[in-house]
Amino acid sequence: MSLKIYNTLSREKEEFKPITPGHVGMYVCGPTVYSDVHLGNCRTFISFDIIYRYLIYLGYKVRYVRNITDAGHLEGDRDEGDDKFSKIARLQQLEPMEIVQKYTLGFRHVMQLLNNLPPSIEPTATGHIAEQIEMTKQILKNGYGYEVNGTIYFDVEKYNKEQPYGILTNRKMEDLLEGTRELGGQDEKKGRLDFALWIKAKPEHLMQWPSPWGMGFPGWHIECSAMSEKYLGKKFDIHGGGMDLAATHHTNEIAQSQACYHTSPANYWMHTNMLTVNGTRMSKSLGNGFLPEELFTGNHPLLEKAYAPIVVRFFMLQTHYRSTLDFSNDALQASEKGLKRLWDAYETLNKFSMGNVQLASDPELDVKVNKLVNEFDEFMNDDFNTAKVLGNMFELVPVINSIKDGLIKTDAVSSATLTLLQAKFKAYLEDVFGLKNSSANNEKLGDVMELLIDIRKEAKTKKDFTTSDKIRNQLASIGINLKDEKGGEMSWDID
């Protein structure tokens, strides 16, 4: 069964066919680094990290490009005034590039905590000014742009006469126009939907570069067009981002590429849904965004406790990427426990020694396990349905635990099945989903626990329950759970 991807452009799932067999080019719109990323931003990057990892799992050689927007983003998109970096820089009396540096590092740190793989290339807008100017020149040359006082605008209405501008989100020109304000007297633009490719900078503007049209800075949309073309070519496989980018940013990217190169940039447009809080979208402008930091420390009025980054990642995997996901304390708590249960079973599974069982003594169970495991790929191939894969994994947890406890005989399933189970759990939990144990511990602690377990075992053998209980209770009070297992063994974990 082949991979199917929901394409925003066609509004249906399509079979994935890469342009170059065996290779995938994927571009994802990254963060604008003028402030901390919030959890909603993180959701998108986690979703695409899973997609990236799964494509690698399938054997593709993937070039994953995710930009850092560090210039040009305007306040209010009125094509006037400061860009966001200059504004914050003035406020904090810093160089714009100090702002950029600070939040870029912060972003990468959070990505790492969430166990996202770094993209293959992470290009910045300021590093590609020349490319953006070139592209603007070409668009002008092709007749889709016009200059007004040193600012270059994209002529949307002209473009729309030749091809549908609102193709990505299925909107008609008239409807789009209805939703926009009238042009005021001081507006330079010809059309209400026109957007800036290059913006003339005022003298006091902190970030500006020379161009054929004077000093200025690039418009927001042109950077992604220029950088995706540079690293992935005029036409590549997947272009992704949050759903909020589809109507404006991605629509404009398509128009720019068409106007410049006469081709739509990507074959598959993927959009991840929003993270909500109490049913409302988490966003910077609404100020209801959770910072990862607040979550990891529990320092937020809506949170009862801190949650490990990996719990947050797991929480997001339980929902399909195209559904909205509501963020709540209860939901996170459920995820925390669920991940622990799943991971405990995974560690148990890894300790199984493979016998040499040719024939399963419980063929029915053997068939069931094979079916559940083989469905992992099937579900992922169906537009990356991580939630369903996890559902199957949880169905396998009782099987694993029962084998451990001797409730299911070791020869119930064949060695081949058990080997497959082990391999797929590893491949999915670690490689594709990028999960790990939520409770961090270190080797020294492990050694100490060995010692305590030894002492407790001795005490129990002597029926010295005062001592054995003391060890267990005191450990419990510092958050370490000691559990007796069948056969006298003991295991432990941290809350």
Partner RNA sequence: GGUCCUGUAGCCGAGUGGCUAGGCAAAGCUCUGCAAAAGCUUCUACACCGGUUCGAAUCCGGUCGGGACCUCCA
Residue 472 interacts with RNA (CB under 7 A)? yes
| C-beta of residue 4 within 8 angstroms of C-beta of residue 14 | yes
Cα 399–401–405 angle (5° rounding)?
115
Residue 123 interacts with RNA (CB under 7 A)? no
Strands (E) located in 201-331: 216-218, 236-242, 266-272, 275-277, 280-281, 325-327
Structure tokens at 41: 């931003």
In whole angstroms, what is the distance from residue 294 CA to residue 444 CA? 29
Residue 117 interacts with RNA (CB under 7 A)? no
Nearer residue to RNA within complex by CB, 144 or 220? 220
Using CB under 7 A, which residues numbered 148 to 167 contact RNA? none
Using CB under 7 A, which residues numbered 256 to 285 contact RNA? 272-276, 279-285
Structure tokens at 465: 């329950």
Residue 319 interacts with RNA (CB under 7 A)? yes
Choose, by CB under 7 A, the member of 56, 94, 97, 246 that binds RNA.
246
Choose, by CB under 7 A, the member of 132, 385, 417, 438 that binds RNA.
385
Choose, by CB under 7 A, the member of 15, 95, 304, 469 that binds RNA.
469
DSSP readout, 121-135?
B--BSGGGHHHHHHH
Q: Looking at 116-124, 262-270, 351-359, 482-490, which segment touches RNA (CB under 7 A)?
A: 482-490
Nearer residue to RNA within complex by CB, 175 or 304? 175
Residue 44 interacts with RNA (CB under 7 A)? yes
Helix (H) / strand (E) containing 28: strand 23-28
Nearer residue to RNA within complex by CB, 17 or 337? 337
Using CB under 7 A, which residues numbered 58 to 97 contact RNA? 69, 73-77, 84
Choose, by CB under 7 A, the member of 142, 419, 461, 481 that binds RNA.
481
Residue 313 interacts with RNA (CB under 7 A)? no
- To the nearest whole angstrom, how small is the minimum distance from the Cβ of residue 273 to RNA? 7
* Residue 402: partners with Cβ closer than 8 Å, 6 or more residues away: 408
Residue 482 interacts with RNA (CB under 7 A)? yes
Alpha-carbon separation of residue 476 from 341, 403, 445, 471, 494 (angstroms): 18, 27, 15, 9, 9
| C-beta of residue 429 within 8 angstroms of C-beta of residue 346 | yes
The radius of gyration of the chain from alpha carbons, rounded to an integer in Å, stands at: 27
Using CB under 7 A, which residues numbered 326 to 355 contact RNA? 326, 328, 330-331, 333-335, 337-338, 341, 344-345
